[in-house]
Amino acid sequence: MRIIVAGGDGFCGWPTALYLSKQGHDVTILDNLVRRKIDEELHSNSITPIASLEDRVAKWKELTGKEIKTFVGDLNHYDFLREVFRQVQPEAFVHFGEQRSAPYSMIDREHAVYTQTNNVVGNLNVLYAIKELAPDCHLIKLGTMGEYGTPNIDIEEGYIEIEHKGRKDVLPYPKQPGSFYHLSKVHDTHNIMFACKIWGIRATDLNQGIVYGLHTHETEMDPMLVNRLDYDGVYGTALNRFLIQAAIGHDLTVYGSGNQTRAFLNIKDTVRCVEIAAENPADRGEFRVFNQFTEWFSVKELAEMVQKVAKEEGLDTKVASIENPRIEKEEHYYHAVNTKLRDLGLEPHLLDDEVLRSILKASIEHNNRVIKENVLPKVTWK
């Protein structure tokens, strides 16, 4: 299959591009490399030293003989995007190419506007490019479990049957996102749903949980293929951030009570979920939603799991509750459905001590690269 991976230089996109290429697909990466520029803006870095996109794909070709084409450019530039579609004629478009940090979107007005413009307009351009140049192409769009927020009822996969005043309908599941970034994803969802209805586009929205881990089988093949791993207060996500904090002897910073519960999955499952979606395309006009996660944990539970494994590795780590920089419920119900990807064949890599240990060891290997001032959160929601 001819597949474009937008955002293919990022944390989820790079291992996905390699995995799909290994499976025999004809993969093209589209990325404007803005994530690398944001590292410069924030004076931050990936704890792992990442090679340039050019060197990464050259190494992949040297090792496997497989070519991954690259287009460096912005989804917001429609002429560029149209040209990529014209040259590639994609059968699937995997869309990871967005600004994905909630704290980044909450820094100030400029960052909120950038996040929503970049994400919503970029996604809208992708919808138009599919309509105009590849109407049969399957859009596989990365959404997030954060779109749903934390309702006091079970979270369904995209839709919920409602009975109201004696009548019933299946309606989009209510969204209660917690940042301008998460709101951008909800806006995307609405635009995609509408485009499916009016133009007959086929789309799968993958409401992904928080991704942890670093390596996949492919990224481990050579240091030049290593994935990025974020730890700072802006881009570091729970679990990966805790593991890196443990690796540098920092307290594990739990926000508030730590009873906030979120859905998680291993990066090895991210790549497989995208493959499953690609192999089982949505029908023309169908807007399909999969909840892409394998387990859920409270933030405090995760910190305690990391603390235990770190101790076994000889690291004395404390779990520290710090003032919550976000505005979110700290005590809430959480139960979400995730059967659709399982039904299509996903066999999850669940979190256990060995998985934690391997990410911890990789973090220890590079812990001299950590810029310590960046570890604590500086962005607040207020």
Residues that bind ligand NAD (CB under 6 A): 6-7, 9-13, 31-35, 74-76, 96-100, 118, 122, 142, 144, 208, 210-211, 237
Q: Which one, 196 or 271, has the nearer CB to ligand NAD?
A: 271
In angstroms, give the least distance from the CB of 169 to ligand NAD.
28
Nearest residue to 124 (alpha-carbon basis) of 200, 203, 188, 31: 188
Cα–Cα distance, 306 to 285 (Å, whole number): 44
Coil, helix or strand at residue 257:
coil
Query: H-helix or E-strand containing 139?
Result: strand 138-144
Site of tokens 């979190």? 351
Q: Which of 181, 212, 255, 334 is catalytic?
A: 181
Decide if 218 contacts 56 (C-beta within 8 A).
Answer: no
Coil, helix or strand at residue 305:
helix
Cα–Cα distance, 225 to 68 (Å, whole number): 13
In angstroms, give the least distance from the CB of 373 to ligand NAD.
21
Q: Which one, 25 or 241, has the nearer CB to ligand NAD?
A: 241
CA 341, 347, 352, 354 torsion-angle sign = negative
Residue nearest ligand NAD (C-beta atom): 10
Q: Which one, 161 or 219, has the nearer CB to ligand NAD?
A: 219
Cα–Cα distance, 116 to 171 (Å, whole number): 25
Q: Which of 144, 189, 204, 294 is catalytic?
A: 144
In angstroms, give the least distance from the CB of 238 to ligand NAD.
9
Concerning whether 181 is annotated as a catalytic residue, the answer is yes
In angstroms, give the least distance from the CB of 314 to ligand NAD.
29
CA 370, 221, 98, 184 torsion-angle sign = negative
Cα–Cα distance, 365 to 45 (Å, whole number): 15
Q: Which one, 171 or 176, has the nearer CB to ligand NAD?
A: 176
Q: Which of 141, 175, 185, 300 is catalytic?
A: 185
In angstroms, give the least distance from the CB of 209 to ligand NAD.
6
Concerning whether 185 is annotated as a catalytic residue, the answer is yes
CA 200, 201, 202, 207 torsion-angle sign = negative
Q: Which one, 249 or 254, has the nearer CB to ligand NAD?
A: 254
Active site (catalytic) residues: 144, 181, 185
